[in-house]
Amino acid sequence: MGAKMKLAVAATMAAGAMALSGCGSNSLVQNGYVAARYDGTTVTNDQVQDALIDVRKVNAEFDSQSAAVFLALNPQLSKLAGKYGVATSAAQAKAAFPATVKNPSTSAISVVQSSMDFQALRSSQQGQPALANLINTADVQLNPRYGTWQKGVGPTSVAPNWISASPAPAAS
């Protein structure tokens, strides 16, 4: 094996090892596999994309940041909505899709369920303080491709253009 081939193999192996090992719990969010994380819930990019396919058939304006956040907060929103008697079941969320959306994905159903629970909590006098507390204390880790989350505020920016342009080659 030539020196160039050995160098290429070594570089490839080193890059692969760094990608697999990661540095801390946020590494998957940074490397692009994970869309969001919160309180033990991990949302993948595939889940966000699956949700968008079905939800956008009903609401073309629905964005990937909202999908990622609603999926990450789904367990907490369901728990709070249940506590205050305003919970939406998965069956109710599925029924909210028109007949033209046949068999919505599990992710799409979860997004709709979270959205309905969020709205119900906002409309509930008893649920409003609990929802505000969740937003004030939640520290959702968002992949930069989906924007940012600010504790106490929620999603604060639209996802930037996360595909950076290659630098122009230097003039010789």
**pTM of the predicted model as reported, rounded to 2 decimal places:** 0.74
pLDDT for position 2: 43
- Residue type at 125? Q
pLDDT band at residue 51 under the 50/70/90 scheme: very high
pLDDT for position 33: 87
Alpha carbons 135 and 121: distance in angstroms, whole number = 12
- For the ranges 6-10, 113-117, 163-167, the lowest mean pLDDT is seen at 6-10
- For the ranges 8-22, 41-55, 80-94, the lowest mean pLDDT is seen at 8-22
